[in-house]
Structure 1
Amino acid sequence: MPAKNDHAFTLIELIVVISLLGVMLFFAVPRIHESFFSSGTRKLSAWLQLQVKDLKNQAVENQTQFILFVDVDENRLWAGRHDMAEPALEAAKSKGLSLSGTNRFSEVVFAGDHRISAGTAHIRFYPRGYSDQAVIYVQTRGNKRISYEINPFLPDIKTGGSHG
């Protein structure tokens, strides 16, 4: 009588393993797609959210004015004190956030419909805990426009988006 081969997998075991792999890939592939092919706005949103909260807190703690600089031409963001010397400002600028090649700032709009579409916009954070009211607009690939609204008395930014 031939010996039974116990080293092989049964059909049910193979089906279960392949099914589990399929379920894992179903959830993992969208995350991989987002990380490699996202438009970079997720990083910008997180950076802005943290910076706005931090700048409001620092302005109150240090009792001095802080500024969020938005360079529309160079697509860069950085933060600093209002009284920083030029070398310190350059160091802060180099530590700031630079947008990816597919994203660019289109304009910054302040209260009273004051628009800055070229140069550097200064969004101020005051020692009493409030800030300038401003909306930062970012143009992404696919002609999508995303807005980041900084409210004077709220710690969080409000994000909006539109197509076209």
Structure 2
Amino acid sequence: MHTRFRPSICPMNDHAFTLVEMVVVTALISIMLVVAIPRLETGLFSDGSDETARWIIANVQHLKEKAVIDQKTYLLNVSPDTRQLWVSAADLPETETAAAREDGYRLPSGMTVDHVAFSSNERVSSGTISIAFYPKGYSDRAIIRMRAGDGERLAFSIEPFLSRIQLVRGSQAW
């Protein structure tokens, strides 16, 4: 039997993908990469400054509210020596304070506390530094200054009568 068409050099194969299928798969992979790569970048290449900032900001706001609600004085404790922050009540016994310290927030590797400034003249850079939050709704004025592993400077400014904390990054932080 003679056909009108010349035999193909490559015989037809039903197991191949069509161009439309290839375009759809490529588009789906591209969309997944666009969504996933920013998350990988922040997770893998982060120096921990964002995580630390979120922890400090959330806890300062929470402590101001909790001090008023419970009518107790609470402390945000900062230890530059152990690179640790923790929350405790001012009237806790030493054993419970030690337990709160053990459960505290450890700074990610590369993050260090440079000092805590209570005024332009008073800077504390070692030991346990306590910032108090009082039942009347105010707190100590303090600036927590930190350095990230890449040299980035961060300053967390806690104002006595404001519930929000101000974060300053870069050279303006000092």
Query: Does 2:159 match 1:156?
Result: no
1:81-113 deviation digits (Å, cap 9, x = unpaired) = 111111000111011101122111011111343
Residue equivalent to 1:52: 60
- Aligned residue pair count: 164
* Aligned partners of 2:48 and 2:109 also within 8 Å: no
| Distance (Å, rounded) in 2 between the aligned partners of 1:26 and 1:62 | 46
Query: Does 2:130 match 1:109?
Result: no
Normalized against structure 2, the TM-score is what? 0.85
* Aligned partners of 2:47 and 2:109 also within 8 Å: no
Alignment partner for residue 119 of structure 1, among 127, 132, 136?
127
Q: Secondary structure at the match of 1:111?
A: coil
Residue equivalent to 2:93: 85
Q: Percent identity?
A: 36
Query: Which deviates further from its counterpart, 79-88 or 28-37?
Result: 28-37
Alignment partner for residue 11 of structure 1, among 19, 36, 59?
19
The CA RMSD over aligned residues, in Å, is 2.2
Amino acid at match of 2:27: S
* Aligned partners of 2:145 and 2:154 also within 8 Å: yes
Task: State the Cα distance separating 1:23 from its structure 2 match.
Answer: 3.0
Task: State the Cα distance separating 1:152 from its structure 2 match.
Answer: 1.3
Residue equivalent to 1:140: 148
Task: State the Cα distance separating 1:122 from its structure 2 match.
Answer: 0.9
Residue equivalent to 1:23: 31
| Distance (Å, rounded) in 2 between the aligned partners of 1:14 and 1:150 | 56
* Higher Cα radius of gyration: 2
| Distance (Å, rounded) in 2 between the aligned partners of 1:6 and 1:60 | 74
Residue equivalent to 1:37: 45
Q: Secondary structure at the match of 1:38?
A: coil
| Distance (Å, rounded) in 2 between the aligned partners of 1:142 and 1:46 | 19
Task: State the Cα distance separating 1:151 from its structure 2 match.
Answer: 1.4
Alignment partner for residue 81 of structure 2, among 73, 80, 86?
73
| Distance (Å, rounded) in 2 between the aligned partners of 1:72 and 1:137 | 10
Q: Secondary structure at the match of 2:39?
A: helix
Structure with greater proportional strand content: 1
| Distance (Å, rounded) in 1 between the aligned partners of 2:121 and 2:28 | 55
Task: State the Cα distance separating 1:7 from its structure 2 match.
Answer: 5.0
| Distance (Å, rounded) in 2 between the aligned partners of 1:45 and 1:90 | 24
Q: Which runs of 5+ in 1 are unaligned?
A: none
